[in-house]
Amino acid sequence: MSAPSPQRRGRDRDDAAAPEDGAQRVRLRFLPDGAEVRVPSGTPVFDAASWNGIAIDSTCGGYGTCKKCKVRVISGEVPVGAIDPRAFTSEELRDGWRLACRANARTDLVIEVPPLQTRPKAALVGVGRHVILRPSVQKRHLVLTEPTLEDQRSDLQRVLDGLEDLEPHTSIDLMRSLGGILRAANFDVTAVVCDQELIDVEPGDTTARRFAIAFDLGTTTVVATLLDLDSGQPVAVRSMLNRQQPYGADVITRISATMMDDRALSALSERAHETVAELVDEVCAEGAVDAREIYEITVCGNVTMMQLALGIDPEPLSMAPFVVATHTFPPVHAADFGVIVHPRAPAFVFPSLGAYVGGDIVAGILATGLTRDRRLRLFIDVGTNSEIALGSSERVLATAAPAGPAFEAAQIKCGMRAAEGAIEALKITGDDLELEVIGDVEPVGMCGSGLVDAVAELVQHGLLDHSGRFIPDEDAAVLHPGLAPRLTMIGKERVFVLHWRDKDPETSVYLSQRDVRELQFAKASIATGWGILVRELGVEPGEITQVLLAGSFGAYLTPLSAVRIGLVPKLALPRIVSAGNVAGEGAKIAALSLRERAEAHSILREVEYIELSGRADFNDLFIDQLAFPG
């Protein structure tokens, strides 16, 4: 094998589902509807179609076992594969007929898709994505003949023979109960297959019930969505704070905890498990679903959250050169996350691009379709660590910008989480401030979006200059006599009071000079990040057609303020959209479609990770970005 190319060095190769070569791209046109897509060379035709919402018949989900995904190659070259001769006559092969799931696109192709025999279901999920339902979890009701001296097939073989379109492997654990189940049920059973593993055989016909849980395992908040895999619809959604909070608000403090105390890693792991276990109880109760009917979980989160939850030492993540244990995880079970659902339920864990561009971002890229869309788009997940991706179906770059805790409001004097009492938005109207407060109560602090609004408004109205300094009192009295009294001192530091209490600045909610500096550093870091990506990609910021602000913080951020402080490129406001919790959407998509899951691995190969630390041009750009735009 040739040496890996530099861009691909950071990727794990233990990834059978992914196309072999992400660097080159090929163009596919699907007939009769004429849809055209560009995908990395080596992508199976079936996946290329699925990723673009074009349905092709299949019951196995794309493993070459059902032999239903028949398509015809009208133009271009696809060699006859090992399984094709079992599905087609020689004449059909000569005519270009191939199984779409085994046909890898290595040249431009025109593909004819026959009319569908069955209408596949789809769900609207992610950022306006239409996902064809092909869940990993499949059930088949089998009425098997009982063994006789003339038919001594093994118990396992009898079940496998009943699964005409699937060829799963299995586990010794299932073998321990299989014989008893078959005989107690008089050989009338339902096979449960999950990602090519026969995970259970259940008495009678249980095909109507199959569920999965998609987890977004965030540093702050953990969200669980219970999905009905038959309809693709969520049955229950619950979220709660990550119980690791006592070990620190951000990933760095939690990693530090493990470095100072040998027992902290297992304690943090247990806390993560407790959190998800409680969420499982809640969604099962709400959805009236038995935990044993949940046959799979999907999990996204940043690398630190994944390594902590799985008991992998995170120390190498916390210091240069920032090395992850693995980009693609080996097979993991729900039980490895402390999730007590079906005892043999696997867990799909999103792969990561880098130590600070984790599976949550890969999930987000999947949910937004960034690598498939022709438009040039900028994706920013704003947080203590901000992940940034820029590109289109041509090419996508990603990086991580250490924004510091400003956006989590931890280092901000009156900062707080986006909870009741937090100022989440703010506007200067005439001589007054209009505050939006979560819960419509008296404000007790401000969350990240409030901070951004406050700074943006003060810059806009001239009370903060472009270098980020509060203007002198005398200038303020001239410029904004109504607001000037809010500009005052606490000790030796100048502050701007957002909400008075007891006429005492110290007990009021205020913005301090140091808070402004924190935000400047944070936004400069992010702006430097996308600035470097823009430069690397050889585009102009004005060419960006859409900025997607992701993460729980992004959801609250006002596009106007984001532009004003220079957090995002200066674009028309409709181009800047809040994409919400795209990581969680990505986790749902992975539970609903095996093919989208393959896309997650494809993202790992296609997206080029740019490391900012140690870059010669970082500091120059950073200093340029510190000021607020004029």
Task: Give residues in contact with a copy of itself (CB under 8 A).
Answer: 1, 4, 9-14, 67, 86, 147-157, 160-161, 164, 167-172, 174-176, 178-180, 183, 310-313, 315-316, 320-327, 329-332, 336, 354-355, 611, 613-614
As measured in angstroms, the least distance from the Cβ of 615 to a copy of itself is: 9
As measured in angstroms, the least distance from the Cβ of 321 to a copy of itself is: 5
Phi and psi, residue 559, nearest 5°:
-50, -40
As measured in angstroms, the least distance from the Cβ of 242 to a copy of itself is: 21
As measured in angstroms, the least distance from the Cβ of 179 to a copy of itself is: 5
In the bound state with a copy of itself, the residue whose beta carbon lies nearer, of 37 and 353, is 353
Q: How far apart are CA 244 and CA 219, in angstroms?
A: 8
In the bound state with a copy of itself, the residue whose beta carbon lies nearer, of 2 and 429, is 2
Q: How far apart are CA 273 and CA 158, in angstroms?
A: 38
C-alpha gyration radius of the chain: 27
Query: Under DSSP, is residue 130 helix (H, G, I), strand (E, B) or coil?
Result: strand
Number of H helices, E strands in the chain: 17, 30
As measured in angstroms, the least distance from the Cβ of 336 to a copy of itself is: 6
Sign of CA dihedral 312, 318, 322, 327: positive
**Are 530 and 537 contacting, i.e. CB atoms less than 8 angstroms apart?**
no
In the bound state with a copy of itself, the residue whose beta carbon lies nearer, of 65 and 371, is 65
As measured in angstroms, the least distance from the Cβ of 415 to a copy of itself is: 31
**Are 295 and 591 contacting, i.e. CB atoms less than 8 angstroms apart?**
no
CA angle 614, 313, 300 (to 5 degrees): 80
As measured in angstroms, the least distance from the Cβ of 554 to a copy of itself is: 26
In the bound state with a copy of itself, the residue whose beta carbon lies nearer, of 329 and 530, is 329
| Residue of 432, 505, 514, 510 lying closest to 469 (CA atoms) | 514
In the bound state with a copy of itself, the residue whose beta carbon lies nearer, of 67 and 417, is 67
In the bound state with a copy of itself, the residue whose beta carbon lies nearer, of 154 and 245, is 154
Q: How far apart are CA 427 and CA 146, in angstroms?
A: 75
Strands 546-550 and 377-381: parallel
Q: How far apart are CA 480 and CA 134, in angstroms?
A: 60
Q: How far apart are CA 99 and CA 114, in angstroms?
A: 12
In the bound state with a copy of itself, the residue whose beta carbon lies nearer, of 76 and 147, is 147
Q: Encoding tokens for residue 448?
A: 């990240």
As measured in angstroms, the least distance from the Cβ of 297 to a copy of itself is: 14
As measured in angstroms, the least distance from the Cβ of 219 to a copy of itself is: 20
In the bound state with a copy of itself, the residue whose beta carbon lies nearer, of 182 and 571, is 182
Sign of CA dihedral 158, 159, 164, 166: negative
In the bound state with a copy of itself, the residue whose beta carbon lies nearer, of 75 and 154, is 154
Q: How far apart are CA 619 and CA 168, in angstroms?
A: 53
As measured in angstroms, the least distance from the Cβ of 308 to a copy of itself is: 11
In the bound state with a copy of itself, the residue whose beta carbon lies nearer, of 45 and 447, is 45
| Residue of 265, 225, 217 lying closest to 241 (CA atoms) | 217
Residue 141: exposure state from Cβ atoms within 10 A (0-12, 13-18, ≥19): middle
In the bound state with a copy of itself, the residue whose beta carbon lies nearer, of 410 and 590, is 590
Cis peptide bond upstream of 321, omega within 30: yes
CA atoms within 13 A on the CB side of 553: 28
As measured in angstroms, the least distance from the Cβ of 106 to a copy of itself is: 12
